[in-house]
Copies of this chain bind each other. A is one copy, B any other.
Amino acid sequence: MSSGPIEGNAVIGQSGGPTAVINASLAGVVEGLQSVGAIKKILGMHHGVRGLTQDNLVDLSDMGSATLDALCKTPSAALGSTRDKPDMDYCKRIFESCRKHDIRYFFYCGGNDSSDACRIVNEVSNNAGYELRCFHVPKTVDNDLVMNDHTPGFPSAARFVAKALMADSADNASLPGIKVNIIMGRHAGFLTAASALARNDAGDGPHLIYMPEVDFDLERFVQDVADVYDKLGRCQIAVSEGIQDKDGQSIGAMLIQGETDAHGNVQLSGSGALGDQLANVLKAKLTATGGKPPRVRADTLGYMQRCYPDQSPVDVREARGAGRYAAEIAAQGDIDGSIAIVRTNDSPYESGYKRIELSDVAAKTKHMDPSYIKGTNDVSDAFLDYVRPLVGELPTFAKI
């Protein structure tokens, strides 16, 4: 194990679903490495590890501060991303590419699959006796990485969801009816829960919030909606795409017969099917209980959640800072790891970074803490205290 910078090149890649700030992390890594004299070239992988193994690389060494600043304001993955989830063989090819290009620093920005790729590449290089400093830089709108207070990408997505639901609640008050909003998050309910930030006054939606952490029961759902609708004459609902029943069966997969991805998961994003099916259930059941059919609409917030250009300032700062922190500790010695965001003060909100082991975060999923959930269809004040400082200032609406 060596200390201090090692001579060689560095490579950075982006993986998984893009976010509004994944390029800020890229900028952070690049600017952090630029001051390290031992690093000759800073290379970018086009479309993640797939690009690396195909020699599809771009030289980022001379990126100026204006470009770095512009990148921080640019959503999506500017290097291109990939859904490839490398196995041992794939990771061996990644390692061979690193050796071929004299790469001694490997940075991969992504979710828990990406940290697992880092872990395997690290293992392969260790076994080969080749010093390769492997770092995972966190990113995911789902906010489901363990040991992180929260993950870059989530605050901006939460900001979009909060603003969209605020406006949609006003829209729903204006033309009363039942409105289902499907929100991203296959396994964790954080983004759906963030919709609660849309509430300012009594009566504001969302009136019901369904997260994957709470067993979803279709009959109870219909009754919940009927109760709110009877009381308020309208009902705005936030539903996670990842809701599941008491046996762990995905409601989306049950209600729709969708495509499955490379990991065998049913496609939930990029389709309005879950929302439409829930709306159909509500129309059918609520009409059957008598009275005129209620007006039921469904929106699936879709990819705008992860890429709409309206970043949380906290998110941009932390995403960039996490990238820089990874570069700094990589230069200090032969250490590998993932970067975690730590909340250092509640009020005023302050945060920092720490290194955690790749194996601590790799391929694990964080869920909403039970203290963040209230009953079967709401979030707690503790969750609101947790999420509010992350999203930046939200608008306030006038009421008549």
Binding site for B on A (CB under 8 A): 14, 17-18, 20, 23, 44, 58, 60, 67, 70-71, 73-83, 163-164, 166-168, 170-171, 173-175, 179, 259, 267, 269-273, 275-276, 279, 283, 296-304, 306-310, 395-400
Contact = CB atoms under 8 A, between A and B. Distances in A.
A271 B76 CA distance: 26
A164 B301 CA distance: 11
Nearest to A26: B400
Contacts of A395: 73, 309
Contacts of A306: 171
Given A170-B76, A298-B270, A398 B67 contact: yes
Contacts of A60: 400
Nearest to A269: B297
Contacts of A23: 398
Contacts of A173: 76, 80
A174 B77 contact: yes
Nearest to A304: B164
B171 A398 contact: no
Copies of this protein in the complex: 2
A272 B297 contact: no
A71 B164 CA distance: 18
Given A82-B175, A395-B73, A303 B299 contact: yes
Contacts of A14: 174
Contacts of A310: 310
Most B C-beta atoms less than 10 A away, residue of A58, A170, A297, A304: A304
B299 A17 contact: no
Contact of A171 (B267, B272, B297, B303): B303
Contacts of A271: 272, 275-276, 279, 297-298
Contacts of A399: 78
A311 to B, nearest CB: 10
Contacts of A283: 259
A399 B20 CA distance: 14
A168 B397 contact: no
Given A75-B397, A77-B174, 10 more contacts: A74-B170, A75-B171, A82-B175, A167-B307, A271-B272, A272-B299, A297-B303, A299-B302, A299-B303, A300-B300
